[in-house]
Amino acid sequence: MFLDKAKIRVTSGSGGNGIVAWRREKYVDKGGPAGGDGGKGGNVYLIADHNLSTLLDFKYKSIFQAQNGENGKTKNQHGRNGEDTYIRVPCGSVIKDADSGKIVGDLTEEGQKILIAQGGRGGRGNARFATSVRRSPQFCEPGEPGIERELEIELKLIADVGLLGLPNAGKSTLISVISAAKPKIADYPFTTLTPNLGIVKKPDGTGIVVADIPGLIQGASEGAGLGHEFLRHVERTRLLLHLVDVLEEEPYKNFEIINEELRKHGGRLNEIPQTVVINKIDAADKSEVNLLKEQFEQMGYEVFAISAATGAGTRELVNYLVKKIDEIPPPSFDIEVEEDEAAFDHDDSAFFVTRHKNEFTVTGGRVERLVYVTDLRNTEAVFRLQNILKAMGVDKALKKAGIKEGDIVKILDLEFVYHPEE
């Protein structure tokens, strides 16, 4: 199965919490704060891999989670950082943020990678808050949350050569002859439902990637047939081989139909050089082949006459491809990639106040994390928590929700009676 569009959900690791701890060692006078910082959460990266040619793997696994940072430890020990997660995608993958629709990445080269979700910063332990005035801080910080987001991946195959032609023109047969690819072949149109890739070996040991694009028909640029889905795979080739079936009634007209669809699709398709390959010469009259070849040559095209079924003329075609590809520089892609602010957005300061009679419940990422790391038995820690919540606007939100003196406020397991400041 070939899959060229996928949606995935990624979550970077949360930072570990700092801790409150004290130094208790023999011969160390008065000890002091010794709570270590939490470790940083793991990042999530996308990395291009030339060994992949489809997004099929994401059909079975579409949720990815980086490792969380470890909480801080006693004796000023830093928590372990979370491991990064690397998601491998084929070269030619265009990455889009599902919420904003922004294109945030275009991975075209082997090993190219982008950061799509930064791990959260670890929280500071109480040793970090010690000063000459405050020698025994009773509080620490929570770690930053990870970033959760949805991404859309669209694959635009990167091939050196793209095979074009109407259904049943012989593209699958040709790619099976000049490479080791084994596409499904039959004597009826639309046998090929997905692009096939083949590697044509060069004398220096490298290879030319040839893509067999599924049959295009008239109206493909508006969505007819299979062409609408796969025209984007033609955009990133260096050279197009346009197969023309000489046995058709009007082979030249068929050639024009395909080129008209390329023109309508627009973009880079109109700039890619084409070479015409007249196919099925084993079953055609030689004079008809020569006449058609002359017609294309007069239009300025380089033309080859072959029989993919018997192999006639294919060796000359392969030799031509080996030389021609070296003459054509790799294409430059003009996809505009926008700055990906969402990959670094750890802000979870939003909170919500819900009311049930005289009970008010406050929920929200940062609010709950602050309560989680606060020692509610310690007056200094509770006083600091109150000041932070007030600075965040929780007090104003409670008043707006209609709270009165004596009402109950709940945040996680914390429950207290509300008394407004004088």
Give all strands of the β-sheet with 239-245 in edge-to-edge order.
196-201, 207-212, 161-164, 239-245, 274-279, 302-305
Residue 216 pLDDT greater than 70, yes or no: no
Residue whose token pair is 């050639």? 255
Cα–Cα distance list, 84 to 49, 115, 117 (Å): 17, 10, 10
Residues 6+ apart with CB under 8 A from 390: none
More reliable by pLDDT, 53 or 21: 21
Residue 55 pLDDT greater than 80, yes or no: yes
**Average pLDDT over all residues of the chain:** 86
More reliable by pLDDT, 146 or 26: 146
Residue 193 pLDDT greater than 50, yes or no: no
Cα–Cα distance list, 162 to 197, 273, 281 (Å): 9, 11, 21
Least confident range from 49-53, 189-193, 296-300: namely: 189-193
More reliable by pLDDT, 147 or 136: 147
Q: Over the range 200-236, which residues count as b (16 or more CB within 10 Å of their CB) and which as e? A: beeeeeeebbbbbbbbbbeebbeeebbbbbbbbbbbb
User: From CA 283, how far away is CA 380, in angstroms rounded?
Assistant: 93
Least confident range from 106-120, 135-149, 190-204, 281-295: namely: 190-204
| Percent with pLDDT over 70 in the chain | 90
Average pLDDT over residues 192-199: 64
Average pLDDT over residues 120-140: 92
Tokens of 183: 């596409």
More reliable by pLDDT, 223 or 234: 234
Residue 83 pLDDT greater than 90, yes or no: yes
Average pLDDT over residues 130-150: 92
> Is the pTM for the entire model greater than 0.85?
no
Average pLDDT over residues 364-385: 91
Give the model's pLDDT for residue 181: 54
pLDDT in tens, 290-344: 999 999 999 999 999 999 889 899 999 999 998 998 888 877 766 778 889 999 9
Contact 106, 337 (CB under 8 A): yes
Q: Over the range 271-282, which residues count as b (16 or more CB within 10 Å of their CB) and which as e? A: ebebbbbbbbbe
CB neighbourhood size of 102 (10 A): 17
User: From CA 98, how far away is CA 328, in angstroms rounded?
Assistant: 36
Contact 19, 35 (CB under 8 A): yes
pLDDT category of residue 391 using cuts at 50, 70 and 90? very high
Residue 346 pLDDT greater than 60, yes or no: yes
Residue 386 pLDDT greater than 80, yes or no: yes
More reliable by pLDDT, 277 or 329: 277
Give the model's pLDDT for residue 269: 76
pLDDT in tens, 399-408: 999 999 999 9
Average pLDDT over residues 13-29: 88
For the chain, which domains are there?
Answer: 5-155 (2.70.210.12), 161-327 (3.40.50.300), 352-417 (3.30.300.350)
CB neighbourhood size of 55 (10 A): 21
pLDDT in tens, 159-183: 788 888 887 778 888 888 887 656 4
